[in-house]
Structure 1
Amino acid sequence: MKPVSVVTLPRQMPMAGIYLFSEKDCHLYVGRTNNLRRRLQNHCHPSSGHNSATFAFRLARELTGIVQPTYVSKGSRVSLQQHPVFGPEFLTQKKRVREMQVRFVEESDPMKQALMEMYVSVSLSTPHNDFDNH
């Protein structure tokens, strides 16, 4: 499909599917959802937290160098949102994601969504996807 941005999503669009965020000709992140419009908007809404704006959170981690996850309160994902360096960078990255190109394709079957997400990520070498177990 011709790329759009989150602010220029078409009026009519599928409910469920996979999506791709890109900047210029660089494909960055693939995701899947059962509500495309809401999920794409959550990625970049200023009030979205670490669980909703996951791509922006990853970008902020990379740009601040705070990449090591922790499972204690200090340094947790929630506390990072209040961090004096990370918090503002997280907001900046949500704005960046809002301006990115996005493409999507309809797929309602969860198994096919998962397979398509991995296939597209591997095929396009999206740098911000990982399928690590945590």
Structure 2
Amino acid sequence: MHERFRQHVEFLHPSFESLLRSAHFTFGLLPKDLPRAGIYLFSEADRHLYVGRTNSIRKRLQQHCRPGSTHNSAPFAFRLAREARNALKATYKKEGSRAHLIQDPEFAKAFTAAKARLRAMHIRVVEESNPLRQALLEMYVAVSLEAPYNDFDNH
């Protein structure tokens, strides 16, 4: 392994363990002392569902969870709504696009319910400000926990 890469990956497991040891909270009880940048994990009970990364944890969690968040700012909730409405196949054509789906009242209702579901989930965070390490850590955590809603496919 290249030495420069090794230096970045050696921190992965300790950060992973730190994330899992951290106290969880719900969106309605966001701690005042959240780190600015890092990795966040959404879980229900003992099932880890989604891992994300950001340079503004508080703002990003708000985008995921607020009732008024749009289909472009709340991708996890949108994916849950797709699943609930059996509209899993993404498309870049007008029909079936995000903008088209959100116009469907039943889909919009599922999207609203998904954002409410996120607000009830357990959230954990770990600080990481280096963008390369953030990306590696997001993948490491998602793969290690088999987070079913993380997708590293190209679009």
TM-score by length of 1: 0.97
Tell me the SS of whatever aligns to 2:103: coil
Q: Structure 2: which 5+ residue stretches go unaligned?
A: 1-21
Which whole-Å CA distance do the structure 2 matches of 1:101 and 1:93 have between them?
Answer: 14
1:27-52 deviation digits (Å, cap 9, x = unpaired): 00000000000101110111111221
Runs of 4+ in 1 over 4 A off after TM superposition: none
The equivalent of 1:121 in structure 2 is 142
Identity %: 57
The equivalent of 2:132 in structure 1 is 111
Report the aligned-residue RMSD: 0.8
Would you say how many aligned residue pairs link Structure 1 and Structure 2? Answer: 134
Letter of the structure 1 residue corresponding to residue 72 of structure 2: N
Letter of the structure 2 residue corresponding to residue 98 of structure 1: R
Which whole-Å CA distance do the structure 2 matches of 1:71 and 1:42 have between them?
Answer: 23
The equivalent of 1:42 in structure 2 is 63
Letter of the structure 2 residue corresponding to residue 25 of structure 1: D
Which whole-Å CA distance do the structure 1 matches of 2:142 and 2:72 have between them?
Answer: 20
Higher helix share: 2
Tell me the SS of whatever aligns to 1:3: coil
Tell me the SS of whatever aligns to 1:31: strand
Matched, 1:14 2:35: yes
Letter of the structure 1 residue corresponding to residue 118 of structure 2: V
Which whole-Å CA distance do the structure 1 matches of 2:147 and 2:117 have between them?
Answer: 17
Tell me the SS of whatever aligns to 1:43: helix
Matched, 1:98 2:119: yes
The Cα shift of 1:23 comes to 0.3
The Cα shift of 1:84 comes to 2.2
Which whole-Å CA distance do the structure 1 matches of 2:34 and 2:149 have between them?
Answer: 25
Q: Decide which structure has the larger Cα Rg and report it.
A: 2
1:5-34 deviation digits (Å, cap 9, x = unpaired): 111111111100000000000000000000
The Cα shift of 1:60 comes to 0.7
